[in-house]
Amino acid sequence: MLPRLNFIRPFLVDWLMGYLLVGTTLLTTSQFSLADEAYIRDTLYVPLRGGESSEHRIIHRGIKSGTLLERLETNEQTGYTRVRTSKGLEGWLLTQYLVDEPIASTQLDRVKSELQSLDKKHQQTLLSLKEAVEEREVLADQNALLTEDLATITTLSANVVVIDEQNKRLSEERDILLQEITDLNELTDVLSDDREQQWFLRGAGIILIGLLIGFWLSRRIYHKRDSGGWA
């Protein structure tokens, strides 16, 4: 029994110590979160002096951090650098305040500006995309109308082919009918000529018969007159 108790006791102690450590940490964190928070500002105002020491007079009360300066010369022994501002003011300040790249706030402002520019471009892209979608829908509608028109034209083209074939067939039948009419006209002319000849012959025959009858009657009258048949 004793070895078993010796094993359990260290385990319970470690567990209790861990529990107390976690509780203490949480309590400290909660107290810190309830405290009044504050931050150290990163904006500095560096004085510009007339010489390479803090004893020289200040010619500019404070140049704000992030200001772009022209570096004219650097004295590593004194730790000062002569600079010129954008307004042409020249003076000395501690070299430790100078960096070769823009400070974080300047870079942050630049990033914010770029983000705003990108956001505008994004909005313009979304607007262009919306306009493209609307234009695509309009083009789709126009395509549907053109497809219907094409189907109609195709149907009409098929009808035109059929009508053209019918016109060709009717033209051939018309030519055949015209030829038959021509033949009938020629036959009519021939029959008309024959009929005129027949009427001429009939008239001539009637006239000849009339002459023969008249001649015969005149001969009979003449004979009766000679024979005294007429008293």
pLDDT digits (tens, 9 = 90+) for 84-137: 998 999 999 999 888 888 766 666 777 888 888 888 888 888 888 888 888 888
48 phi and psi, to 5 degrees? -105, 120
Q: Is the pLDDT of residue 139 over 80?
A: yes
Copy the structure tokens of residue 208: 């000849």
Copy the structure tokens of residue 3: 């070895």
- Whether residue 71 lies inside any domain: the answer is yes
- For residue 204, the model assigns a pLDDT of 72
The alpha helices in the chain, defined as continuous H runs, are 2-34, 104-226
- Whether residue 230 lies inside any domain: the answer is no
Could you tell me the pTM of the whole model?
Answer: 0.35
For the chain, what is the domain count?
1
- For residue 105, the model assigns a pLDDT of 62
Q: Is the pLDDT of residue 147 over 60?
A: yes
d(CA 158, CA 151): 11
- For residue 21, the model assigns a pLDDT of 60
Q: What's 72's domain CATH number?
A: 2.30.30.40
- Whether residue 210 lies inside any domain: the answer is no
Least Cα distance to 161 among 130, 169, 102 occurs for: 169
d(CA 19, CA 10): 14
- Whether residue 94 lies inside any domain: the answer is yes
pLDDT tens string 60-80: 888 888 888 999 999 999 999
Distances (CA, A) of 106 to 47, 83, 125: 20, 20, 28
Give mean pLDDT, residues 145-155: 86
Q: Give the model's confidence band at 41: pLDDT under 50 very low, under 70 low, under 90 confident, else very high.
A: low
Q: Is the pLDDT of residue 55 over 80?
A: yes
- Whether residue 116 lies inside any domain: the answer is no
- Whether residue 86 lies inside any domain: the answer is yes
- Whether residue 87 lies inside any domain: the answer is yes
Q: Is the pLDDT of residue 81 over 90?
A: yes
Give mean pLDDT, residues 197-211: 74
- For residue 162, the model assigns a pLDDT of 78
Question: Which residue range(s) make up the domain with 82?
Answer: 45-100
Residue 35, strand partner residues? none
- Whether residue 122 lies inside any domain: the answer is no
Q: Give the model's confidence band at 82: pLDDT under 50 very low, under 70 low, under 90 confident, else very high.
A: very high
